[in-house]
Amino acid sequence: MLLRTSVIIGTILLLLLPVSGSAQQNLTMPMASPYASVVQRIGLTDITITYHRPAVKGRKIWGGLVPYDQVWRAGADENTTISFSDPVTVAGKLIPAGTYGVHMIPATSAWTIIFSSVSWAWGSFSYDQSEDVLRFSVTPSATGFTERLIYYFDDPSDDSVDVVMKWEKLMLRFPVKVNVTEVVLGNIRRELRGLARFSWQGWNQAADYCLRHNTNLDEALTWVERSISMNENFNNLRVKSDLLKLKGQNNAADELMKKALDLASEADLNNYGYQLMGSGDLNKAVEIFNLNIQRYPDSWNVYDSLGEALAQQGKTKEAIEYYEKALKMTAAENQKKRIENILKNLKSN
């Protein structure tokens, strides 16, 4: 019993002793080069850059703090990284989805940009060229002074964006391109294996995407036919009609469009008219809005929509006529004010 008590007391005393230096836990403190992250989405693809932001602090940066012709971590502290949620193309090479360590070799002229398969290293101290996924050259340009290194995205388009780095009085950029159609189609096929497959809307949205981008037309037809089999309506019949037109089957397309228009509600026709306006087909939009007026003459909104299409055509007198009809018919104060402002502008021109 005495031996057991001695062991317990000894254990307690050990626990009360100061923690040795090797076991100390450092507190989290602000870093000299703060962490940063920037994200850009192109289509459905996310491009993410994470890095630490060193400051100039009056030092000579290029050819000084950052030597020429040596691999540099492209930031401070841990690896600067770039992540792609889908495959992308950089410098003409297809890069798989994933996260890559970014390194650079600064020079007095063209720089070398490196994507490494290792993204978890500390800086470039363990950099190994055999782990390169991509190397390409970029010539930097002079720019205004930037105290802390910064990465950002510039000039985004539907399928590309420029990655930009600025620090001190230097800037470099390189484009990243995304095959948006391929990514979207892959995502559509995945989602149609889930809950979206149980509604007519999901199959129709898939077909409509292909229609709007004139791609994958045969599969799109199978998708829209699946939608029609679940719930035949204006929207999916219209999409099928337009797909048939793209495939040169004009007679079948026209017959199907007649059937679609017979099923169309006021909202269907109104939305379709605005789609036509958005695509620049104002004449067809006016035709559809006139059809809506014939079917729903007691709705103020059909006159309002036709007025807008006529105004875009430059037919100001006719546009004023239909806007005034809409104004007399609507009881909503916010709509009255909106239409009054439109009429004021039309009459002043």
| Alpha helix ranges (H) inside 116-263 | 180-191, 200-213, 217-230, 234-246, 250-263
Cα angle vertex 228, ends 227, 233, to 5°?
Answer: 110
> Of 177, 211, 241, which closes a domain?
177
Task: Give the single-character DSSP code of 338.
Answer: H
Residues 61 and 193 in one domain: no
Name the token pair of 157.
């388009």
Residues 255 and 336 in one domain: no
Residues 45 and 155 in one domain: yes
302, part of any domain = yes
| Residue 221: domain span | 179-263
Three-state DSSP at 95 gives strand
> Of 237, 263, 289, which closes a domain?
263
Q: Cβ contacts of residue 119 below 8 Å, gap of 6+?
A: 79, 81, 99, 100, 101
Residues 185 and 157 in one domain: no
Cα–Cα distance, 120 to 99 (Å, whole number):
9
Predicted confidence at residue 285, as pLDDT, reads 95
153, part of any domain = yes
Predicted confidence at residue 23, as pLDDT, reads 62
Could you tell me the pTM of the whole model?
A: 0.82
Name the token pair of 308.
């807008």
Three-state DSSP at 298 gives coil
5, part of any domain = no
Q: What is the CATH number of the domain that holds 289?
A: 1.25.40.10
Predicted confidence at residue 10, as pLDDT, reads 47
17, part of any domain = no
Q: Cβ contacts of residue 116 below 8 Å, gap of 6+?
A: 79, 100, 101, 102, 103, 127, 128, 131, 132, 133
Residues 82 and 144 in one domain: yes
52, part of any domain = yes
Indicate the number of domains in the chain: 3
> Of 124, 158, 177, which closes a domain?
177
Residues 210 and 147 in one domain: no
Cα–Cα distance, 262 to 246 (Å, whole number):
22
Residues 172 and 233 in one domain: no
Task: Give the single-character DSSP code of 55.
Answer: B
Residues 255 and 328 in one domain: no
Which regions in the chain score pLDDT beneath 50? 1-17, 19
Cα–Cα distance, 7 to 340 (Å, whole number):
92
Cα–Cα distance, 228 to 264 (Å, whole number):
14
Residues 188 and 123 in one domain: no
Residues 171 and 183 in one domain: no
